């Protein structure tokens, strides 16, 4: 079996759903269920014989050790993380605790388990550390895309905490021999993404007729990766990736934030005719330390593992909008009073104007 950490979150739940749909090994999902962890993401597999959920903290070394000894996984796929840059600026401590301390303790527990495995099982074991391209910092308009050898230059508390986790993962591989592989992905989007991130926030607000807050001039560039493509890349890395290596995973879809928002508006205009949703766009004060551009060079994973993204941005956005249109109950379940208070705190100018 495999253990997935943070499997009730956006990417983790997509990975588990895809994994079980392909009749692969059983999955144990270890998740603390913080605000962005939603058990409803996995409701369709709750009764699946190959799925088990344990509520717990990756920083709880005793719990993790017990689970490893009991279930003897052949891999750990580590998604669990605080991941929203805005929240890391408002409150860095949770990011340090989960992303840094939690990852270090998880690595320690994994090493203790792995070091006692018989040689064939130890050789086959993998620790897959799922990370972000934000650890590389920001690019200028004409600079080449991030490669795996690009220096780490994190600029936010979030990216600094993930960079630290990556360094611990590398250290446990180099010093202790733990067979770690790290992946650095670009911006994910797709179904079940918590609506604090750009794409689901814009969809949610547009459908509600609310302002669409765009930071600064909206010309920050990101590479957009459909979560289904990300999951297929992770499976390839888990199956064929080399321990000690890192692999960049991108969507080959660089867009400015403003282009993304206007694309969403056009799709919603078609689905809900009668108004121009782009008229709801409001430029707000830019985020502190906002990175200007990310771009991914995915030539290594393409050459070594034969992987490339399959979902175009245009099709992915249409599918994502349709999912949110068809799943209003899910959206209602995550946009609680706490969520509304966060949005009001994050975009005060919009709400004071209202």
Residue 347 has pLDDT above 90, yes or no: no
Neighbours of 301 (CB within 10 A): 25
Neighbours of 139 (CB within 10 A): 18
pLDDT at 35: 86
Please report whether residue 332 resides in a domain: no
33: left (phi over 0), alpha (psi -120 to 50) or beta: left
> Which of 210, 101, 118 minimizes the C-alpha distance to 161?
101
For 98-109, the pLDDT digits (tens) are: 999 999 999 999
Please report whether residue 324 resides in a domain: no
Please report whether residue 317 resides in a domain: no
Lowest mean pLDDT among 23-32, 141-150, 167-176, 327-336: 327-336
* pLDDT mean over 134-142: 97
* pLDDT mean over 66-71: 98
pLDDT at 354: 43
Q: How far apart are CA 246 and CA 47, in angstroms?
A: 35
The helix/strand/coil state of 176 is helix
Q: What range defines the domain where residue 119 resides?
A: 2-192+226-251+290-310
Residue 335 has pLDDT above 90, yes or no: no
Residue 337 has pLDDT above 80, yes or no: no
Return the H-helix or E-strand segment holding 255. strand 254-256
Please report whether residue 59 resides in a domain: yes
* pLDDT mean over 115-132: 98
For 189-237, the pLDDT digits (tens) are: 999 999 999 999 999 999 999 999 999 999 999 999 999 999 999 999 9
Residue 101's domain is classified under what CATH number?
Answer: 3.40.50.720
- The number of distinct structural domains making up the chain is 1
- List, as own/partner pairs, every contact residues 298-305 make where C-beta atoms lie below 8 angstroms and the sequence separation is at least 24, other chains included: 298/248, 298/249, 298/250, 298/252, 299/147, 300/147, 300/148, 300/247, 300/248, 301/233, 301/236, 301/237, 301/247, 301/248, 301/249, 304/240, 304/241, 304/242, 304/247, 305/236, 305/237, 305/240, 305/241, 305/247
Band (353; pLDDT cuts 50, 70, 90) = very low
Please report whether residue 75 resides in a domain: yes
Beta-carbon contacts of residue 291 (< 8 Å; ≥ 6 apart): 134, 137, 138, 155, 156, 220
Please report whether residue 137 resides in a domain: yes
Q: What is the rounded average pLDDT for all residues in the chain?
A: 95
Please report whether residue 325 resides in a domain: no
The helix/strand/coil state of 224 is strand
Please report whether residue 98 resides in a domain: yes
Beta-carbon contacts of residue 230 (< 8 Å; ≥ 6 apart): 11, 14, 185, 188, 249
Residue 338 has pLDDT above 80, yes or no: no
Q: How far apart are CA 10 and CA 177, in angstroms?
A: 31
pTM: 0.95
For 16-67, the pLDDT digits (tens) are: 999 999 988 999 999 999 988 999 999 999 999 999 999 999 999 999 999 9
Residue 310 has pLDDT above 50, yes or no: yes
What residues act catalytically?
A: 133-134, 158
* pLDDT mean over 280-301: 97
């Amino acid at each position: 079996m495999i253990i997935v950490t943070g499997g009730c979150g956006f990417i983790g739940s997509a990975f588990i759903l895809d994994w079980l749909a392909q009749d692969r090994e059983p999955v144990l999902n270890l998740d603390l269920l913080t605000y962005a962890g939603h058990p409803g993401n996995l409701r369709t597999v709750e009764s699946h014989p190959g799925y088990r959920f344990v509520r717990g903290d990756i920083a709880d070394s005793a719990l993790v050790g017990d689970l490893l000894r009991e279930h003897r996984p052949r891999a750990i796929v580590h998604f669990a993380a605080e991941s929203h840059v805005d929240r890391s600026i408002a409150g860095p401590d949770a990011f340090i605790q989960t992303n840094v301390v939690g990852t270090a303790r998880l690595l320690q527990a994994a090493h203790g388990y792995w070091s006692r495995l018989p040689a064939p099982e130890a050789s086959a074991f993998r620790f897959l550390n799922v990370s972000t391209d934000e650890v590389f910092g920001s690019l200028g308009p004409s600079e080449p895309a991030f490669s795996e050898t690009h220096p780490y230059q994190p600029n936010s508390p979030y990216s600094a905490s993930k960079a630290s986790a990556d360094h611990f993962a590398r250290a446990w591989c180099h010093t202790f021999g733990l067979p770690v592989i790290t992946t650095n992905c670009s911006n994910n989007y797709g179904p079940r993404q918590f609506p604090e991130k750009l794409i689901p926030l814009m969809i949610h607000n547009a459908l509600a007729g609310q302002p669409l807050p765009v930071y600064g001039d909206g010309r920050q560039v990101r590479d957009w990766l459909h979560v289904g493509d990300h999951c297929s890349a992770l499976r390839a890395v888990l199956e064929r990736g080399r321990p000690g290596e890192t692999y960049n995973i991108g969507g080959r879809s660089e867009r400015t934030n403003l282009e993304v928002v206007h694309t969403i508006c056009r799709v919603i205009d078609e689905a809900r005719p009668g108004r121009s949703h782009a008229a709801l766009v409001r430029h707000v004060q830019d985020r502190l330390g906002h990175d200007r551009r990310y771009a991914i060079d995915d030539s290594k994973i393409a050459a070594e593992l034969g992987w490339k993204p399959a979902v175009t941005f245009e099709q992915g956005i249409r599918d994502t909008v349709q999912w949110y249109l068809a799943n209003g109950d899910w959206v209602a379940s995550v946009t609680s009073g706490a969520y509304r208070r966060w949005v009001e705190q994050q975009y005060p100018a919009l709400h004071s104007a209202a």
